[in-house]
Structure 1
Amino acid sequence: MGTPLTLEQVRQYQTEGYVVVERLFDARDLARVEEAISELSQKALASPEIMGEILELEPELVEGQPVARRIFNPYDQHEAFQALARDSRMMDSITSLIGSNFNLQHSKLNMKPPRVGSAVEWHQDLAYFPHTNDDLVTTLVYLDDATVDNGCLQVLPRHHHHFFEHHGPEGEFLGKISVNLDDGRFGRPVPLEAPAGSVIFMHCITPHSSLPNTSSRARRTLIYEYRAADSFPIYYGEMTATAESRYRPLSGSPATQARLGGPPPLIPKVGRYSSLYDLQSRSSKGETR
């Protein structure tokens, strides 16, 4: 049986752009996901011809072996991920934030392995996939205890009603915010440390990032993006086409009209589909033009 978010939790989400619900899932819930991760990882690493459909690897080897940094589209890869996305605790929480008519936009699993876990630079999710309104919720399920040392998520509160620039001087989409958010001009970033099983509910425009994992412990995060049924993509290109192929109906009735709302969205200028890691890396090297 699920439990909706409290009024105080909903108020924090609306005001700050995020809310942390500690230990929403227990050890038994996480054990099923652990088994699925192990199964998918072994399958991918044993079959190079399908690896790119399942995993993205860290650029560095660890003790001479490849290490996964992301599982693509886990919702469609294993029923354990579907069960968690549809769990009543998750569904009722989403209903508290955007109503009972909503769908799954996409899913991914960031592995953040010990000592080599890649950093994620500051960005806003909706800059990647603009929609007719901003009723999209990014949920991050912590599969491990998350701390500053192992590269936990950090957010910039109260900046979820406007976009920061994500484009370079020639209009190229960088996949990251192009101004410095670490110098204090826009407030102090808040690291979201929490135990395994906790869930971060984050507005789709909340700026966020994470540091590299410098610890000896993994920091895996399962991410589901939910969107209101009447929120539709407004830019059609390879990025959107790929994202829409991962859309799945979840709750309520299909919308027959698009609802308009939120700040004017950015339109990404992207030549080809890229993962966040790849796009941020290429933009740092000036390869996105």
Structure 2
Amino acid sequence: MRTEDVLAYRPIVLTEAQRVSYFSDGFLVLPDYVPGPWLARLSAATQKLLDRSRCVTRSDSIFVLEEGHSAQNPRLHRVTSPQDHHPTFWEFICDPIMTDLAAEVVGPDVKFHHAKLNVKSERGTRGFKWHQDVPAWPHTDYSPVTIGVYLTGCDTDQGPLTFLPGSHLGPLHSMYDNSGAFVVHMRDELAASISADMIETATGGPGTTVLLNCRTIHGSAENSSDRARPLLLPVYSSADSFAYTPSPIMSPRQGDIVRGRPARFACFDTRPCELPPDFRAGYNPPWLAQRDEEKRADRPPML
């Protein structure tokens, strides 16, 4: 759905100023948005998945492991598609607390695309270089929004999300390196031009929620604290927005309408988007792709 069409609907969760801020900046931070009872249930479900990972010895289609992971000390980057592995996540993703919020920025008819749970374990879990999301899963328009929820809060030393305000209005950058490998981040020579005064950071207490447009340049530093940083990241779009390449993260729930009605016509945005690899041949999650890139370049990990 086009921005002007979304704005024609009266907001029911956000203020008009908050909604204008999202469309202007490409992101919006809502401190302490998700209430305690939901956070308790989501944290308990996260612990169940963390316990399940104890018997996993290498990254697989569900768990992306961090170096040093063991049964005694489980360390995770990510749980892929948590809604397919514990019912609490899908219940939350479909709850009006999330779908009504998504509707504020994508329109009244809301479609689910995918989700991940970025656990970002304590003491050295690597960061995520500057990137944009939509080149990994192109859609017919740029309505998709990731709604990130910090389950236990996030301080500056935990590797919070960082953004370049207004970058969603600029170009999409290649997520391929100079050798043609899909590394899921901007090329280093472009990233080097980003200065500290251009960056905004999303920190906050438990339940703090971040709305992130699919074109916005963002990243995060490593988690140098002694606390994990679980961040639930479901992706929603307008019902009339359609993915046109195989998704890197598959789910039987992909494409489900979680609010409103299905679309009869597709919305098209003519701004181009570089295509990702054909993920039917396999998908290397971002941290593993960046680790492999570092090995190829024989350089130390990003700090």
2:47 counterpart residue number? 38
1:141 counterpart residue number? 149
1:4 to 2:10 alignment:
no
1:273 counterpart residue number? 283
Of the three residues 241, 250, 262, the one matched with 1:254 is 262
Residues 85-234 of structure 1 aligned to structure 2 (within 5 Å) = 85-161=93-169, 162-178=171-187, 179-184=189-194, 188-234=198-244
CA distance in 2, matches of 1:49, 1:112: 17
Shift in Å at residue 54 of structure 1? Answer: 3.2
**TM-score of the superposed pair, with normalisation by structure 1:** 0.88
2:82 counterpart residue number? 74
For residues 43-90 of structure 1, the C-alpha deviation after alignment (integer angstroms, 9 at most, x for no partner) is 3324x4998343221023479744122111011111211122122121
Shift in Å at residue 282 of structure 1? Answer: 2.1
Shift in Å at residue 258 of structure 1? Answer: 2.0
Residues 15-26 of structure 1 aligned to structure 2 (within 5 Å) = 15-26=24-35
CA distance in 1, matches of 2:198, 2:207: 26
CA distance in 1, matches of 2:97, 2:72: 41
**TM-score of the superposed pair, with normalisation by structure 2:** 0.85
Kindly indicate whether the alpha-carbon contact (under 8 Å) linking 2:144 and 2:213 is maintained by their aligned counterparts in 1. yes
CA distance in 1, matches of 2:59, 2:294: 26
Q: Which amino acid aligns with 1:43?
A: R
Q: 1:194 to 1:52 in 2, by over 3 A?
A: same
Unaligned runs of 5+ in 2: 1-10, 298-303
Unaligned runs of 5+ in 1: none
Aligned length: 282
Kindly indicate whether the alpha-carbon contact (under 8 Å) linking 2:12 and 2:104 is maintained by their aligned counterparts in 1. no
Q: Which amino acid aligns with 1:177?
A: M
Shift in Å at residue 230 of structure 1? Answer: 1.4
For residues 220-260 of structure 1, the C-alpha deviation after alignment (integer angstroms, 9 at most, x for no partner) is 10101101111112234xxx275365513312222232211
Q: Secondary structure at the match of 2:43?
A: helix
Question: Identity rate of aligned residues, in percent?
Answer: 27
2:6 counterpart residue number? none
Shift in Å at residue 286 of structure 1? Answer: 3.8
Shift in Å at residue 187 of structure 1? Answer: 6.0
Shift in Å at residue 3 of structure 1? Answer: 4.8
Kindly indicate whether the alpha-carbon contact (under 8 Å) linking 2:165 and 2:199 is maintained by their aligned counterparts in 1. yes
1:243 counterpart residue number? 250
Kindly indicate whether the alpha-carbon contact (under 8 Å) linking 2:154 and 2:205 is maintained by their aligned counterparts in 1. yes
Shift in Å at residue 167 of structure 1? Answer: 1.9
CA distance in 2, matches of 1:241, 1:207: 19
CA distance in 2, matches of 1:246, 1:123: 26
Moved more, 10-19 or 211-220: 211-220
- Give the root-mean-square deviation of aligned CA atoms: 2.5
Q: Which amino acid aligns with 2:133?
A: D
CA distance in 1, matches of 2:57, 2:173: 39
Q: Which amino acid aligns with 2:217?
A: P
CA distance in 1, matches of 2:77, 2:195: 32
Shift in Å at residue 5 of structure 1? Answer: 1.2
CA distance in 2, matches of 1:260, 1:27: 39
Q: Secondary structure at the match of 1:52?
A: coil
